[in-house]
């Protein structure tokens, strides 16, 4: 069973938020801000330029991730051309996955790149506030999947007021050269060690609006992360090996 995050529950008065189109639009706005931002990382950027060992994967590689993952059914959500350009990534996917007749739904965004510097600035704790969300909390969890291996993740809670109050839960982690990583600390360490041997980095963000009539959002996020993480890592490993031949 997935490990339930510690001290992740919000005060009861913040429950009872309904999901609306504006809620999913808020996810899109946060992704857009995430892709367009990057201030504060210029020093690290110079040290995290493309490694000689980096092998770019063909665009469309991530699209091979199945649309059906266990009992989750996926649908592609295309991004605008200017947003895609702003990602500065070598490949990406943006999808929604749902199960139980649509009563549970998550948003999946994955960006892949051979230049770690391009993915470092684009984190939920930076980009959701930049898109108008308020940080409510953060926790670190380890999500086990079928093989028994743990996926170190961060879980973030955000809220946004207004006429229709909204609340969002976001789980994120990185895949660096086939290994799972909780945050950008590994990339920063490599930068300051002048270690540019990274072949590829993928950032994974799974978001879920809070709904009063559904299970707790972290259960949906953890459940989907447990099913999708090994598939994503395996896909990247195989594609990287084939590209290096």
pTM of the full structure: 0.75
**pLDDT by residue, tens only, the chain of 245 residues:** 333 333 333 333 333 333 445 555 555 555 554 444 433 333 333 344 444 455 677 778 999 999 999 999 999 999 888 877 776 678 899 999 999 888 889 999 998 875 656 666 667 888 889 888 999 999 999 999 887 899 999 999 999 887 677 899 999 999 988 899 998 776 666 554 445 556 788 999 999 998 766 667 889 999 999 999 999 999 999 988 887 77
Residues 2 and 151 sit within 8 Å (Cβ to Cβ) = no
């Amino acid at each position: 069973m997935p490990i339930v995050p510690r001290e992740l529950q919000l005060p009861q008065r913040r429950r009872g938020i309904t999901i609306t189109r504006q809620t999913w639009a808020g996810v899109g706005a946060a992704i857009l801000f995430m892709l367009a931002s990057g201030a504060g990382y210029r020093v690290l950027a110079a040290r995290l330029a493309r490694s000689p060992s980096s092998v770019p994967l063909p665009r469309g590689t991530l699209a091979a991730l199945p649309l059906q993952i266990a009992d989750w059914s996926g649908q592609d959500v295309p991004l605008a051309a200017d947003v895609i350009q702003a990602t500065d990534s070598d490949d990406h996917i943006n999808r929604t996955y749902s199960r139980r007749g649509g009563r549970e739904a998550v948003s999946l965004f994955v960006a892949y790149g051979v230049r770690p510097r391009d993915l470092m600035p684009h984190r939920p704790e930076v980009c959701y506030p930049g898109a108008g969300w308020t940080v409510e909390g953060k926790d670190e969890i380890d999500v086990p999947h079928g093989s028994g291996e743990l996926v170190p993740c961060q879980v973030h809670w955000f809220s946004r007021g207004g006429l229709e109050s909204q609340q969002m839960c976001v789980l994120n982690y990185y895949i660096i050269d086939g290994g799972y990583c909780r945050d950008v600390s590994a990339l920063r360490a490599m930068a300051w060690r002048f270690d540019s041997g990274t072949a590829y980095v993928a950032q994974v963000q799974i978001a879920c609006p809070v709904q009063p009539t559904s299970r707790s959002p972290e259960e949906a996020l953890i459940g989907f992360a447990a099913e999708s993480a090994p598939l994503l890592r395996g896909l990247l490993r195989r594609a990287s090996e084939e590209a290096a031949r």
